[in-house]
Chains A and B, each alone.
Chain A
Amino acid sequence: MRRAGGAVRRYSPAIVLFALLIGTWEAGVRALDVRGFILPAPSAIATALLDNWDSGYQIFPAARVTLYEALGGLAMGTSLGLAVAFVISRFPTSRDAILPVAVAVNAIPIIAFAPLANNWFGIQSPISKMAVAASLVFFPIMINTLRGLTQVEPSAIELMRSYAAGDGSVTRHLRIPNALPFFFTGMKIATTLALNGAVVGEYFGGLTVALGRVVVGSASALRFDITWSAIVVVSVMGIALYLAVLAIEQLAIPWHPSVRGEERTT
């Protein structure tokens, strides 16, 4: 009971702000009565959402598909990012070879990569959307984990050397635990990117029951209330994923200064 009270107290400012924003938005649209075209009132968006939940644009099934693609992309991108980070930390010379290439691949904008992925993996296949998501997830995970693996206190390395610990031991006992906070920083960035990637991938084609397609379809039909409701659903899913990362972080690294004590990060 006390914990629930504490949580309410913590989030009440955000909730209040939210209520204020929604209220102003609603009032503004009604008062100005212009651009209701592109920017419908919150009430209209809510109605559109409820009307199209299971039928019509089928937002709920679409959300499930998009989430599935995002998680798949998250898994793929994280695995690849971790693998490359470990390779570079184990073989420092490879850094000069791999890092510029990773940066280059990361700079390829989604607008170019999504059609490519569709071509490569099949436009209907969820894999093409996962590939787009993975391509966004890879870099933040890789660079954050790499920093965590390599940014170790020199005296800790000296200590391990005094134990004649081999590279493997040093990695297992020192570098990996040290890298965990950095990994979670990367994950927080990556979860939102994964969702974004999945949606954008869908934008360029694919199964109709997907949030990206809902956005495209409803926008071309000029049903912007539905477009916005899809966007809201994407947002909510993103927040949920982020909170999940936070919760896991609490369990995994309770000892880190930024996680313990009175100071809490987002």
Chain B
Amino acid sequence: MSVAGRVAIFVGFVALILVLWEAAKVVGGDPWRVDGEVIWDPPLKFSFASDVNLPHVWEVWAAMIAPLNAGTTESLGAYLFWQALYTWREAAIGFALGAAIGVALSVAFVHFGFFERAVSPYVIASQTIPIVALAPMIVFFVGQTMTSVVIIATYLSFFPVTIAMLRGLRSPDPRSLELMRSYAASRRAVLWKLRLPASLPYLFTALKITATASIVGAIVGEGPGGIRYGLGRAILFFSQQYTIAPEKLWSAILVTAALGVIFFGIVRLTELLALRRWPEGFAA
């Protein structure tokens, strides 16, 4: 299927969602007004479809192109764009560090059973600590800088990679391992020539999860951390204004989601390139 075809399908699906969005408001939202006049009063009342919870699609768009606030000419959209870039920098570093740590940990686990038995419970336990509780403490210790945000993003990123790599590094058929032994291959050779290549599909599945996790981590770090820039701050700020201007929060949410999609797309493209020599069906 051509690229144009795929894009068309995606756009079609998004359009469908927007239609359903407004349809919900037609059926059960708040009264529709034009210049103060009520032109349509929906028969039912769904609380989630009210103008506060689900603002009209065009109102969100209008807020995006309008100025951020009374004092500037910069549009909301432009402002969010720059904040997104700031957040993405933190997320990308967290992503890379998290992936590196995940791979290193899993390799260490596979080769040193003692290390695995000692440390792996803590790896799992680390993820059970709610990040929202941990973030303010990290910022307290490290300071209100990008570093603390990167730490939090890394924290959320390394776990999926570790888990997936453990599965992947151990996935080769024992017969393949036997073959390597027959070549008197060193553990290092087995790692580079067999285990790591075999774990690539698993790694990329995890990286796709990690891409969005690192963004969430960065935003979670920015918020409680009191960082002055980034989408985290924007979201916190706009959620305080939610009842008067819900469109702003939704705009921020949309930009965050778009950032996630773009990052995911980059990982996916890399996956297609890296796995192109694999049999069909391996790049899911």
Q: CB < 8 Å: which of A38, A100, A103, A189 contacts B137?
A: A38
> A109 CA to B254 CA in the complex, in Å?
11
Chain B interface residue count, CB cutoff 8 Å, equals 81
Instruction: Give the interface segment out of B33-41, B62-70, B171-179.
Output: B171-179
> A143 CA to B284 CA in the complex, in Å?
9
Is B216's CB under 8 angstroms from A107's CB? yes
Q: CB < 8 Å: which of B159, B263, B280, B284 contacts A146?
A: B284
Min CB–CB distance B99 → chain A (angstroms): 15
Is A115's CB under 8 angstroms from B256's CB? no
Residue A119 CB within 8 A of the other chain: yes
Q: CB < 8 Å: which of A101, A234, A266 contacts B13?
A: A101
Instruction: List B contacts of A192 (CB < 8 A).
Output: 124, 127-128, 159
Instruction: List A contacts of B209 (CB < 8 A).
Output: 139-140, 143, 189
> A39 CA to B133 CA in the complex, in Å?
13
Q: When A11-B117, A13-B114, A106-B212 are in contact, do A227 and B133 touch as well, CB less than 8 Å?
A: yes
Is B53's CB under 8 angstroms from A119's CB? yes
Interface SS of B by simple majority: helix
* Chain A minimum-CB-distance residue to B223: A111
Q: When A151-B201, A151-B284, A266-B163 are in contact, do A139 and B212 touch as well, CB less than 8 Å?
A: yes
* Chain B minimum-CB-distance residue to A98: B13
* Chain A minimum-CB-distance residue to B209: A140
Q: CB < 8 Å: which of B48, B202, B242 contacts A185?
A: B202
Instruction: Give the interface segment out of B4-12, B71-79, B142-150, B184-192.
Output: B4-12
Give residues of chain B (181-226) contacting chain A, Cβ–Cβ below 8 Å. Answer: 201-202, 205, 208-209, 212, 215-216, 219-220, 223
Residue A4 CB within 8 A of the other chain: no
Instruction: List A contacts of B172 (CB < 8 A).
Output: 257
Residue A32 CB within 8 A of the other chain: no
Residue B140 CB within 8 A of the other chain: yes
Chain B 94-136 interface 0/1 with A at a Cβ cutoff of 8 Å (1 = within): 0000000000000001100011111111111101111111000
Residue A17 CB within 8 A of the other chain: yes
Residue A250 CB within 8 A of the other chain: no
Give residues of chain B (1-27) contacting chain A, Cβ–Cβ below 8 Å. Answer: 1, 6-7, 9-10, 12-14, 17
Instruction: List A contacts of B212 (CB < 8 A).
Output: 103, 106-107, 139
Q: CB < 8 Å: which of A112, A140, A153, A193 contacts B279?
A: A153
Is A97's CB under 8 angstroms from B47's CB? no
Instruction: Sort chain A's interface into a size bin.
Output: 35 or more
> A116 CA to B140 CA in the complex, in Å?
28
* Chain B minimum-CB-distance residue to A212: B130
> A11 CA to B284 CA in the complex, in Å?
36
> A220 CA to B1 CA in the complex, in Å?
56
Chain B 134-174 interface 0/1 with A at a Cβ cutoff of 8 Å (1 = within): 00010010000000000000000001100110110011111
Is B53's CB under 8 angstroms from A116's CB? yes
Min CB–CB distance B277 → chain A (angstroms): 14
Residue A199 CB within 8 A of the other chain: yes
Q: When A215-B130, A231-B133 are in contact, do A104 and B170 touch as well, CB less than 8 Å?
A: no
Chain B 244-273 interface 0/1 with A at a Cβ cutoff of 8 Å (1 = within): 000001001100111111011100000000
Chain A 150-163 interface 0/1 with B at a Cβ cutoff of 8 Å (1 = within): 11111001000000
Residue A68 CB within 8 A of the other chain: no
Q: CB < 8 Å: which of B17, B159, B160, B236 contacts A111?
A: B236
Is A257's CB under 8 angstroms from B208's CB? no
Instruction: List B contacts of A98 (CB < 8 A).
Output: 13
Min CB–CB distance A91 → chain B (angstroms): 11
Interface SS of A by simple majority: helix
Residue A60 CB within 8 A of the other chain: no
> A215 CA to B14 CA in the complex, in Å?
39
The residue in A111, A143, A189, A258 that gathers the most chain B C-beta atoms within 10 A of its C-beta is A111
Give residues of chain A (175-200) contacting chain B, Cβ–Cβ below 8 Å. Answer: 181-182, 185, 188-189, 192-193, 195-196, 199-200
Footprint of A on B, CB under 8 Å? 1, 6-7, 9-10, 12-14, 17, 47-48, 52-53, 109-110, 114-125, 127-133, 137, 140, 159-160, 163-164, 166-167, 170-174, 201-202, 205, 208-209, 212, 215-216, 219-220, 223, 231-232, 235-236, 239, 242, 249, 252-253, 256-261, 263-265, 279-282, 284
6 CB < 8 A contacts A-B? A11-B117, A14-B119, A108-B257, A196-B131, A199-B132, A235-B128
Q: A104-B261, A215-B130 are in contact. List 10 more A-B contacts (CB 8 A).
A: A14-B118, A38-B140, A101-B17, A109-B231, A111-B235, A115-B242, A185-B163, A215-B133, A235-B129, A266-B166
Footprint of B on A, CB under 8 Å? 10-14, 16-17, 38-39, 93-94, 96-98, 100-101, 103-112, 115-116, 119-121, 139-140, 143-144, 146-147, 149-154, 157, 181-182, 185, 188-189, 192-193, 195-196, 199-200, 203, 212, 215, 219, 227, 231, 234-239, 242, 257-258, 261, 263, 265-266
